[in-house]
């Protein structure tokens, strides 16, 4: 886990039968495949993050954001996953002087971070079209909340496999057509 990951933020989930924490790396295909074995849904937040870190050393970004997503997609193909939700970033659109982007906007990444995220988005789209992987892409501006970390870091290796969740609200959200 990267410097931005904090396992103590997940302690409240440990009492749920729908939750399990597995320390792993998406660039390790065997681990990825094992984690998805009994899952129905996958929400992929895994990524190396922060533009400055990607400029200083792009290799971890290629490993996590490209190779890791490739492994995840291959594992999803071999499983019975009902939906993959791939969390991306608005950074894939590049800089904007005014206005806003839409899902139809061209991708124009401007850093190693955004380039690897754009590459992973394209892999998800290709696997969805070619292999019928049931996937959607969400391009968020930023993810933050009460347990956010204010220092540069990553959530590399965090892949939430939601096993047999069963709640209607989650199932409905995962079925909604969005970017992708």
Q: Active-site residues: which are they?
A: 90-91, 113
Dihedral sign computed on CA atoms, order 175, 47, 8, 76: positive
Burial of 53-76, coded b for 16+ CB within 10 Å and e otherwise, reads: bbeeebebbbbbbbbbbbbbbbbb
Element (H, E) at 136: strand 135-140
Q: Where are the alpha helices (DSSP H) in 132-167?
A: none
115 three-state secondary structure: helix
Return d(Cα 53, Cα 60) in angstroms, integer: 9
């Amino acid at each position: 886990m990267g410097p931005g990951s904090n396992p103590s933020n997940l302690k409240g989930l440990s009492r749920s039968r729908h939750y399990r924490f597995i320390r792993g790396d998406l660039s390790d295909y065997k681990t990825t495949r094992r984690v998805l074995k009994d899952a129905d849904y996958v929400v992929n937040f895994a990524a190396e993050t922060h533009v400055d870190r990607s400029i200083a050393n792009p290799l971890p970004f290629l490993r996590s954001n490209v190779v890791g997503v490739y492994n995840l997609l291959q594992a999803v193909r071999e499983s019975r996953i009902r939906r993959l939700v791939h969390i991306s970033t608005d950074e894939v659109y590049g800089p904007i002087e005014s206005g806003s982007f839409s899902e139809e906007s061209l991708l124009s990444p401007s850093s190693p971070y955004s380039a690897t995220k754009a590459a992973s988005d394209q892999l998800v789209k290709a696997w969805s079209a070619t292999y019928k992987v049931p996937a959607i892409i969400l391009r968020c501006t930023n993810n933050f909340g009460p347990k956010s970390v204010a220092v540069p870091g990553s959530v590399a290796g965090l892949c939430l496999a939601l096993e047999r969740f069963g709640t209607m609200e989650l199932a409905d959200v995962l079925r909604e057509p969005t970017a992708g």
